[in-house]
């Protein structure tokens, strides 16, 4: 038989194991998951995945042609943004070399901080399912990690930025990675869309006519 001391020890170990499993399950449950698809306006032809509990908000103003922010209701710092701007290029390589773009991303992150040191974690070129080329740049300050993924087509620059507080990086990394990887832009979309004619989508084509006349110059652009 099992002596009283052995039984007590086995019971204690069993409780520890059970507690450890519960903690692991609880931690897993807190992991961020990008489980909802956001599809942008037909005229722009982009999509990406985001956490379904987060709220998309189309920002007003003239800072960008299109400016979307997706973030949790109560937590500050974490967010996904998508901006679209008019440029004089039709591919990301025409916009600039990846090393030059990475420097601009670092500079932008530096401006957002209050004296924190910003480092370049990585920069790479990737290819989407339609053959489109993307630049992906990751920077990190003492408080935030920013992943910027961008591409260009039809004289438009598409930029998705995933911002994560370092304090939540373990929980959010997977979901943010999914969001970034899922960001997809259809090539030459506006040029193709205009060929359908005004009868099929007058509202969208009216929006196209209101695009700003001035092009953003590469050397002055900030991410």
Residue 112's pLDDT is what? 87
Cα atoms found within 13 Å of the Cα of residue 136, Cβ hemisphere only: 18
Q: Is the pLDDT of residue 4 over 60?
A: no
Q: Is the pLDDT of residue 10 over 80?
A: no
Q: Is the pLDDT of residue 165 over 70?
A: yes
Q: Is the pLDDT of residue 82 over 90?
A: yes
Mean pLDDT value across residues 19-32: 56
C-alpha span between 135 and 152 (Å, rounded): 10
Type and span of the H or E element at 171 = helix 169-182
DSSP state of 215: P
Query: Of 66-70, 124-128, 219-223, which gets the smallest average pLDDT?
Result: 219-223
Q: Which pTM does this prediction carry?
A: 0.75
Q: How confident is the model at residue 25 (pLDDT cuts 50, 70, 90)?
A: very low
Residue 216's pLDDT is what? 45
């Amino acid at each position: 038989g099992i002596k009283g001391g052995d039984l007590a020890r086995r019971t204690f170990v069993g409780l520890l194991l059970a507690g450890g499993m519960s903690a692991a399950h609880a931690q897993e449950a807190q992991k961020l998951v990008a489980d909802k698809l956001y599809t942008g306006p037909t005229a722009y032809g982009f999509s990406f995945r985001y956490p379904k509990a987060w709220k998309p908000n189309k920002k007003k103003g003239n800072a960008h042609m299109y400016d979307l922010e997706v973030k949790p209701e109560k937590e500050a710092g974490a967010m996904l943004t998508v901006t679209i701007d008019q440029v004089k290029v039709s591919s990301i390589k025409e916009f600039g070399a990846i090393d030059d773009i990475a420097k601009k991303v670092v500079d932008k992150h530096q401006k957002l901080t209050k004296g924190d040191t910003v480092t370049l974690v990585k920069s790479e070129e990737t290819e989407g399912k339609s053959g489109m080329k993307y630049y992906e740049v990751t920077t990190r300050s003492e408080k935030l990690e920013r992943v910027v993924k961008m591409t260009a087509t039809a004289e438009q620059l598409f930029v998705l930025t995933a911002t994560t507080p370092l304090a939540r990086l373990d929980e959010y990394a997977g979901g943010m990675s999914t969001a970034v990887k899922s960001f997809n832009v259809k090539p030459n979309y506006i040029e193709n869309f205009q060929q359908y004619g005004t009868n099929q989508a007058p509202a969208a084509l009216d929006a196209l006519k209101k695009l700003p006349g001035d092009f953003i110059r590469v050397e002055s652009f900030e991410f």
